[in-house]
Amino acid sequence: MPWSHTSMKRGLSFSTHIGALQPRRRDGISRSLQQSEESLYGDGDDETIRAYSAILEDLRQLANPVENWHKDEAARVEATRDLSSYIVEYCMSADSLPPDHKEQIINECNKAEQWLREQMQQQDTLPKTSDPVFWSSDIKSKAEELQLVCQRILGSKGT
């Protein structure tokens, strides 16, 4: 029901995600939620299914970006931890390789580590209300890239 969605979005936006909203965006969402509630509760009997659907879609467009940002925040932490683990793992495995292969893996790990550090430094300079500099999908792509390159190098160590 649109009523429960309106109440749920208000609860999420103002209890769980309030810190991530810029004041202007927070005020806009609050106004829209208030208007939706007034429309749904005030004129509810006279509204059509089409009107309910339009209100629901407006609410989704307002709240989904905020929810997605928060969902990705936890995923970014996990992806960062995974990438860091891969870097350590490949650096440690490089110790047993011939010097040229070892150097290649260390260089790839250093590049990935530098990229991650730069992204995190940029993120740290922004207020919590800004969109992230990088998303979990960016970190996962970097981790996959590192794995592919290092596996290729490890696979060619005997040639």
- Where are the strands (E) in the chain, listed by range? none
pLDDT, one tens digit per residue, over 59-102 is 777 777 777 777 888 899 999 999 999 999 999 999 989 999 99
What is the distance between the alpha carbons of residues 28 and 56, in angstroms, rounded to a whole number? 16
- Is residue 150 within 8 A of residue 105, CB to CB? The reply is yes
Q: Which two tokens stand for residue 53?
A: 């659907």
Q: Go through the domains of the chain in sequence order and give each one's CATH number.
A: 2-68 (no CATH), 74-155 (1.20.1270)
Tell me the CA distances in angstroms from 146 to 61, 83, 141, 150, one per residue in order: 36, 9, 9, 6
**The pLDDT of residue 51 is above 90:** no
What is the 8-class DSSP label of residue 16? I
Q: Nearest CA to 9 among 72, 84, 65?
A: 65
pLDDT of residue 33 exceeding 90: no
- State the pLDDT confidence band at 53, using cuts at 50, 70 and 90: confident
Does pLDDT of 45 surpass 60?
no
pLDDT of residue 146: 98
What is the token pair recorded at 22? 């810029």
